[in-house]
Amino acid sequence: MNDMTPVAKMTPKDWETDQEVRWCPGCGDYAILKAVQRTLPEIGARPESTVFVSGIGCSSRFPYYVESYGFHTIHGRAPAVATGVKLANPELDVWIITGDGDALSIGGNHTMHILRRNLDCQILLFNNEIYGLTKGQYSPTSREGTRSPSTPFGSVDRPAKPAAFALGSGARFVARGFDVSKNLPDVLKAAYAHKGAAFVEIFQNCIVYNKDVFADFTEKKNADDGQLWLENGKPMLFGKGAKGIALDREALTLKVVDVVDGDWQAADVIVHDVTNRSVAHMLVEMPFGSFPMALGVLYDDPAPSFESAVVAQNEQAAKGKTPDLQKLVSQGQTWTVGSGAETDAAEAGSAGSGPEL
């Protein structure tokens, strides 16, 4: 930030630390780390003005492996810590790394409020639908019936949907990607470009406790029919262009339509508009199976960010006022006691102008 010397273009290598990475071999987190390290030089980020803040969980070890400032905080509280960091220094690029348990269980409240306030930051939620670091209990995003050490007969509660939660909390940017996707850096770039809270759900394969839970759409053989990559201004096509998403005008829901000979207009396929909040609500609720998984930038419609509003208000409130500690402590209704026990009411006329008693 304060570095005035011209710097050589950075490479992904420059964003690696000397720390040994401690994730399980084959964990999806490695791919996400690589994608982030590839993205950072491309967006022109600087290590000294970048801060990674995380909570607790496998994903939250992330900051130790990125050569920037990093704060590995406590379970669920990364958004709150990040809010203090950004309010104290709005110039910093703040990235929050979290997981499904961290962001939606113990830290659900903070996730809701950081999105509602629209703090300028990137929130990367690694969703593996399981508690990894505590050895495999079901998580708030685990599917109904998930068998785990704490649910040996299967979980009975319905899962939270991270992207729907984010949108419902007032997020102005919602995107999705998955660990090994080649498109992930593009999604991260879009998140970085968005001023305000950018929420990215990244499906991540926990090869130990919840292996291949997303294989239905992440595996190569399922990609065509399972992945709907959204692009602003482009029709919502998948299945090699043979299928599309259209609006069922009667039911006011989305539907899958067949596209014949590439004529998507004839099939009434929707053209993706990232600023359309109503369609975004439908995309995040789209049930996987009968529909493909909506990926890429689902919604992107910036609004004023929290820290900029706070700074503006602070400046406005301080305008024309000179800080003067002596004046400050002398405020309110004062009186002077003379050298004897003589007392003389001073400034009594200013009654009511000072702080309330």
Partner 1 sequence: MASVAPLSPPIDPADDQSLESVVVRFAGDSGDGMQLTGGQFTLSTALAGNDLATFPDFPAEIRAPQGTLFGVSAFQINFGSTDITTAGDAPDVLVAMNPAALKTNVKDLKPGGLIIADEGEFNDRNLAKAKYEANPLTDGSLAQWQLLSLNISQLTLDSVKPFGLGNKEALRCKNMWTLGLALWMFDRDRQPIVAWLKAKFAKAPELADANIAALDAGHAYGETAEISGEGLGLKQHHVPSAAVPSGLYRTVTGAEAISLGLVAGTQLAGLPMFFGGYPITPASAILHHLSRLKEYGVTTFQAEDEIAAIASAIGASYAGSLGITSSSGPGIALKGEAIGLAIMTELPLVIVNSQRGGPSTGLPTKTEQSDLYQAVYGRNGDAPMPVIAARSPADAFECAIEACRIAVQYMTPVMLLTDGYIANAAEPWKVPDMATFAPFPVTFMDTAQEGGFLPYARDEKLKRPWVKPGTPGLMHRIGGIEKGVNTGHIEYSPANHQAMTDIRQNKVLGIADSLPDQDVSLGTDSGKLVVVGWGSTFGPIHQAVRRARAKGRDVSHVHIRHIWPLPKNLGTLLKGYEKIIVPEMNTGQLKTVLRDQYLVDAKPLNKVSGQPFRIAEIEAAIEDALK
**What residues between 282 and 311 interact with partner 1 by CB under 8 A?**
310
Q: How far lies 220's CA from each of 28, 179, 180, 226, in Å?
A: 16, 13, 11, 10
CB closer to partner 1, 150 vs 353: 353
Is residue 278 a contact residue for partner 1 (CB under 8 A)?
A: no
| Amino acid at residue number 137 | Q
Q: Distance between CA atoms of 213 and 201, rounded to whole angstroms?
A: 15
CB of 274 to partner 1, least distance (A): 28
Q: Compute the residue count for the chain.
A: 357
Return the residue of 6, 44, 152, 323 that touches partner 1, per CB under 8 A.
323
**Taking contact as CB under 8 A, which single stretch among the options 25-33, 42-50, 192-200, 240-248 is the one that binds partner 1?**
42-50
CB of 216 to partner 1, least distance (A): 35
Is residue 332 a contact residue for partner 1 (CB under 8 A)?
A: yes
Is 71 in a helix, a strand, or coil? strand
CB of 335 to partner 1, least distance (A): 5
CB of 75 to partner 1, least distance (A): 8
Q: Distance between CA atoms of 244 and 249, rounded to whole angstroms?
A: 15
Q: Are 55 and 77 in contact (CB under 8 A)?
A: yes
Q: Are 139 and 108 in contact (CB under 8 A)?
A: no
Task: Give the closest residue to 27 by CA, choosing from 108, 130, 114, 116.
Answer: 130
Dihedral sign computed on CA atoms, order 70, 73, 79, 81? negative
Is residue 44 a contact residue for partner 1 (CB under 8 A)?
A: no
**Taking contact as CB under 8 A, which single stretch among the options 79-87, 142-150, 168-176, 213-221 is the one that binds partner 1?**
79-87
Task: Give the closest residue to 303 by CA, choosing from 172, 119, 166.
Answer: 172
How many residues of this chain bind partner 1 (CB under 8 A)? 78
CB closer to partner 1, 53 vs 125: 53
Tell me the backbone φ, ψ of residue 331, rounded to 5 degrees: -75, 170
Is residue 232 a contact residue for partner 1 (CB under 8 A)?
A: no
Return the residue of 12, 41, 47, 239 that touches partner 1, per CB under 8 A.
47
CB closer to partner 1, 62 vs 238: 62
**Taking contact as CB under 8 A, which single stretch among the options 86-94, 236-244, 258-266, 294-302 is the one that binds partner 1?**
86-94
Is 79 in a helix, a strand, or coil? helix
224: CB partners within 8 A, 6+ apart: 238, 239, 240
Is residue 330 a contact residue for partner 1 (CB under 8 A)?
A: yes
Q: How far lies 268's CA from each of 166, 227, 231, 284, in Å?
A: 28, 19, 17, 20
CB of 345 to partner 1, least distance (A): 4
CB closer to partner 1, 73 vs 305: 73
Is residue 2 a contact residue for partner 1 (CB under 8 A)?
A: yes
Beta-carbon count within 10 A of 101 CB: 31
**Taking contact as CB under 8 A, which single stretch among the options 132-140, 187-195, 234-242, 319-327 is the one that binds partner 1?**
319-327
CB closer to partner 1, 25 vs 323: 323
> What residues between 155 and 194 interact with partner 1 by CB under 8 A?
none
Return the residue of 85, 163, 230, 274 that touches partner 1, per CB under 8 A.
85
Q: Distance between CA atoms of 21 and 73, rounded to whole angstroms?
A: 18
> What residues between 3 and 32 interact with partner 1 by CB under 8 A?
3, 17, 19
CB closer to partner 1, 63 vs 136: 63
Is residue 337 a contact residue for partner 1 (CB under 8 A)?
A: yes
Q: Are 40 and 15 in contact (CB under 8 A)?
A: yes
DSSP state of 208: T
> What residues between 50 and 69 interact with partner 1 by CB under 8 A?
51, 53, 63-64, 67-69
64: CB partners within 8 A, 6+ apart: 17, 19, 70, 72
